[in-house]
Amino acid sequence: MKALLIGKQPPVCLGWEYVSEGYDAVVIGSLELGQLLRFSEERVLSALAEGKTVVLYEPGLPQAPRNRALAASLASARRELKSWGIRFLSGSEKRLVTAQEARRLLSQGRQPDMGAVLTPLAKEILEGKE
């Protein structure tokens, strides 16, 4: 699946191929404090209005553990993004690797992330048996 990446690329594979146009989803890899507090990323808002999937890599969000008021504002901003339909991912979710995904990974010379769940055919493809 092709996705537009906003911010930094997450250090884990979330299953999307990042492109700048012709995307089916939007992945928000990171946000700065001001971006989260005053969220107005037009490409994300347009994607939500069009009914596209928007996911946010939660470890890429800023924290403010030493300022309770700011931490509360950040928590409120997170709740608002969730209410808009943005899915939050922690990066620790187990990802299913299908045969199609296994072929794509092989063509890129990559391996699935540790902990990924492989379909039987995907496992055969990655082991070179198919």
Q: Locate the domains of the chain by residue range.
A: 2-89, 96-126
CB of 30 closer than 8 Å to CB of 8: yes
**pLDDT tens readout for residues 14-38:** 778 899 999 999 999 999 999 999 9
Contacts of 69 (CB under 8 A, 6+ apart): none
Is the pTM of the predicted complex or chain greater than 0.85? no
**pLDDT tens readout for residues 37-94:** 999 999 999 999 999 999 999 999 999 989 999 999 999 999 999 999 999 988 776 6
Helix (H) or strand (E) holding 55: strand 53-57
CA–CA separation, 53 and 28 (whole Å): 11
